[in-house]
């Protein structure tokens, strides 16, 4: 019995595509047209690079903004610190009828800073926390006290245990902390030590404390001998401006470029006439 012949592929009936209800053929996916786009390696790196650049740009803007906020906060704290020091200067002036200066030995050499001298005029403290004005800042009792951090003298960015300060005074000729400061006439005509209210140029026109670019131990009698000494770099943490505290109690921000102007020299001297306004 001969086997039945098998139909060839050509003889098989072709399946007609199904029609939709409206009689049109459905849209079948085209493998070539509908294949998802896969970028080449170069395109991938360009895309990733663009994304990375955007992230860096956004991060940079955020850091700049954060720096401005942090720097502004530090400025405010520093300004408040200087105002607190001015409170101590005024309290000392009221107690002793003269502007505070460094403590000096019998030879006239500075042994303890004015900052340490007004410490107890800033806060209540017992006898154990008062500096001995007759011995150097780094000896005996004073050595232990000078190693205690001072929150008012410390600059905001410094560590909590720092004993350094950027707040200094001028000690050159005719500056308020000049050791050879002139006597002045009181209301009766008698020559007496200078007080804040008897500053010849006026307390509101005379700088007494400055924000320096370098720090020193707050109890050590180191300040700025200017204009006799080298031109100081002022403005801690910034080279564009610095803070200056005037003897009447206000603090002003001054551009660093103004330090060599005659008006600035006029502002740190107490006896050469009121200076123009500095900013």
Structure tokens of 158? Answer: 């410094």
Kindly list the domain boundaries of the chain, sorted by start residue: 61-268
Question: ∠ CA(151), CA(155), CA(157), 5° rounding?
Answer: 110
- Between CA 200 and CA 204 the distance in angstroms is 11
Q: Are 270 and 201 in contact (CB under 8 A)?
A: yes
Q: Hey, what are 110's tokens?
A: 């500075």
Q: How far, in Å, CA of 119 to CA of 223, rounded?
A: 17
What does the CA dihedral 155, 226, 217, 78 come to, rounded to 10 degrees? -10
CA-based torsion, 212, 248, 200, 98: positive or negative: negative
The C-alpha atoms of residue 74 and residue 154 are separated, in whole angstroms, by 11
* 159 dihedral zone (left: phi>0; alpha: psi -120 to 50; beta): beta
Q: What is the pLDDT of residue 68?
A: 43
Q: How far is CA 65 from CA 36, 73, 157, 227, in A?
A: 42, 12, 17, 37
- pLDDT by residue for the chain (279 residues), tens only, comes to 555 555 555 555 555 555 545 555 455 455 555 555 555 555 665 655 565 555 555 544 444 433 343 667 888 899 999 999 999 999 999 999 999 999 999 998 999 999 999 988 887 666 667 899 999 999 999 999 999 988 899 988 788 889 999 999 998 888 998 888 878 877 787 888 899 999 999 999 999 999 998 899 999 999 998 877 787 888 866 668 899 999 999 999 998 888 888 888 889 999 887 766 666
For 23, 29, 103, 128, 143, the CA distances from 135, given in Å and listed in that order, are: 112, 97, 9, 15, 10
């Amino acid at each position: 019995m001969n086997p039945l012949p098998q139909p060839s592929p050509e003889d098989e009936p072709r399946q007609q595509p199904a029609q939709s209800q409206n009689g049109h053929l459905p849209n079948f996916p085209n493998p070539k047209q509908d294949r998802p786009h896969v970028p080449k390696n170069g395109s991938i790196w360009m895309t990733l690079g663009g994304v990375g650049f955007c992230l860096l740009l956004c991060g940079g803007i955020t850091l700049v903004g954060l720096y401005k906020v942090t720097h502004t906060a530090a400025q405010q704290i520093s300004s408040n610190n200087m105002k607190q020091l001015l409170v101590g200067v005024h309290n000392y002036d009221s107690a002793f009828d003269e502007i505070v200066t460094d403590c000096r030995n019998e030879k006239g050499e500075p042994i303890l800073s004015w900052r340490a001298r007004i410490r107890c005029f800033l806060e209540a403290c017992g006898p154990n926390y008062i500096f001995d004005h007759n011995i150097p800042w780094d000896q005996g009792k004073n050595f232990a006290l000078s190693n205690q951090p001072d929150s008012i003298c410390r600059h905001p960015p410094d560590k909590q245990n720092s004993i350094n300060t950027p707040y200094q005074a001028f000690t050159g000729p005719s500056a308020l902390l000049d050791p050879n400061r002139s006597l002045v006439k009181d209301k009766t005509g008698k020559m007496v030590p200078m007080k804040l209210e008897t500053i010849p140029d006026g307390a509101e026109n005379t700088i007494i404390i400055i924000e320096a670019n370098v720090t020193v131990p707050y109890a050590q009698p180191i300040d700025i001998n200017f204009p006799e000494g080298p031109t100081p770099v002022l403005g801690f943490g910034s080279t564009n401006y610095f803070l200056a505290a005037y003897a009447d109690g206000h603090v002003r921000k001054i551009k660093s470029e103004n330090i060599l102007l005659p008006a600035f020299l006029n502002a740190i001297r107490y006896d050469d006439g009121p200076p123009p306004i500095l900013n």
